[in-house]
Amino acid sequence: MDRILSRKMGIIIIKYQNKRGGKENKMIKEKIKVLKQGKRTLSRWNNFKKSSKGITLIALVITIIVLLILAGVSIATLTGQNGILTRAQDAKEQTERTQIIEQAKLDILKKQTDNVSAELEKSEIKDVLDIYFKEVPDNFTSDTVLTTKEEYGNYEITVSEIYGGKIEEKGLTATDIANAENKEEFYGAEVKNYTTANDSKAHADGWKIFYAGTMGEETTPHIYLIASDYIEYQYIPYSTKDGSVTTNKPNQGNSSYPRTAYFTNILKDYTGSASITDSKIQALNYSYFSQNFTSTNNNMKAVAYMLDTDAWIDFAGAKAEYAIGGPTVEMLMNSYNQKYGEDYRIPVTGNTGYFGYQNLKTNDSLYVINSTSNAVSMWIASPGGNNPDYLFGARNSGLVNTSHDYDYEYSGFRPLVCLEYNVELQKNTDESGEVYYMIKSNA
């Protein structure tokens, strides 16, 4: 533009030089004046443009920097650890997690209402947890952390957040055990918290489940426990006579076997089968008493001592109905047959008693203690039918027979306890995975 104006001024000046004077020259002078003013104006405009262009770039840079700072602050506010979006997501997850907990609590409350009980069995609690959580273990506790299923958001929730009550397995009754198909799960398992009435007088190294069910015509099932080993001689009780405790107790056995004893000292305190009058106790040798057999033989006197609930009363703890000196042959066969699916029988042959034998597994200490460090065999509370002086015994070899006369000095006692009919057992597992049971405190 500047060059164009200069060119036009040059042409006008030339014309002015060629045509001097008159009106035309005056007009030319005016045009030159206007063109010079335009040039000066254009020059100022160009200078303004140059200065304005510099100011605009600085402003643009500053503006961009400010915008970037504002954008960074905004992004941090939205997406940072404490950002709006993060807090919104946390609030959403917390709401969903709380909703799951509250819904599970409502389901449990419904079960409690249906049961009319504040306490639920462990299996009932698990039924609810299985709805919302994946892979709920059978041995869960209040402190177990569970993960919700995919459709419930994969949240980690502790059991105690849902159920604050006491968590226990369903107690096992005598009926439950008696009806169980697999008796190996129960028979021989340790019951850890059974205590005798007087541990200083009646102590055993431990107790195992021996049998569950009824005997004879009894209709109420019971759980029976047996001492896990022969008891020490000092804990073998004195006999009773006419309802009073005597000063007589079985003779101490062979000194090489510290937990052995035999019956010579107590025979005079019993009359034989007539000393056994309680129908519950008679039911333990049901085949004998149901046929009205009677005996005053020495073997039956010894059996009467073993079945004397008054003599063995110190072994009957708070949860026991009674205790005796050992199992009968009928109870032994019932227990063994149920555990191993056998059909062993030893029949009664007459007034003298039972006659026959069976060989049991030697690797099951519930029935056979194959170690002879304390005794060679276990006394069984049934009379032998082949000799009026013989009782049954279970030898360390597994042989159950009648060749144990009353003064056999190599046998020991393993007391048997009949628990009260309403007792329930709580299943537990130790650190090694071994199953054991506890008597429930509310039983």
Mean pLDDT per block of 10 residues along the chain (443 residues) reads 51 49 54 58 56 67 83 67 73 90 92 74 89 89 92 93 81 94 96 95 96 95 98 98 96 98 98 97 98 98 98 96 98 98 96 97 96 97 97 97 95 98 91 90 64
Do residues 305 and 273 both lie within one domain? Answer: yes
435 and 405 inside one domain? yes
Strands (E), 219-364: 222-227, 240-241, 244-245, 251-252, 261-262, 320-324, 348-350, 353-354, 358-359
For residues 13 and 48, membership in a common domain is answered with yes
Q: Which of 79, 105, 135 is the last residue of a domain?
A: 79
Q: Which of 116, 138, 161 is the last residue of a domain?
A: 161
- 90 within some domain: no
Task: Please check whether residues 265 and 139 belong to one and the same domain.
Answer: no
For residue 63, what pLDDT is reported? 84
| Residue 395 and residue 286 share a domain | yes
* Pairwise CA distance, residues 327 & 340, whole Å: 18
**Cα–Cα nearest to 190, from 366, 369, 409:** 366
Q: Tell me, what's the pLDDT at 22?
A: 46
Same-domain pairing of 134 and 192:
no
For residue 86, tell me if it sits in a domain. no
Q: Do 353 and 288 meet the contact criterion of CB atoms below 8 Å apart?
A: yes
Q: Which pLDDT does position 30 carry in this prediction?
A: 62
Same domain, 275 and 407: yes
Predicted confidence at residue 141, as pLDDT, reads 86
Q: Are residues 220 and 337 in the same domain?
A: yes
Domain that holds residue 432: 174-439
The count of domains in the chain is 3
Half-sphere exposure of 269 (CA within 13 A, CB side): 25
Q: What are phi and psi of 71, to 5 degrees?
A: -65, -40
Answer yes or no: do 222 and 314 share one domain. yes
Task: Give pLDDT, residue 16.
Answer: 45
For residue 401, give the DSSP letter: E
| Residues 205 and 254 placed together within one structural domain of the fold | yes
The reply to whether 106 and 33 lie within a common domain is no
Domain final position from 111, 140, 161: 161
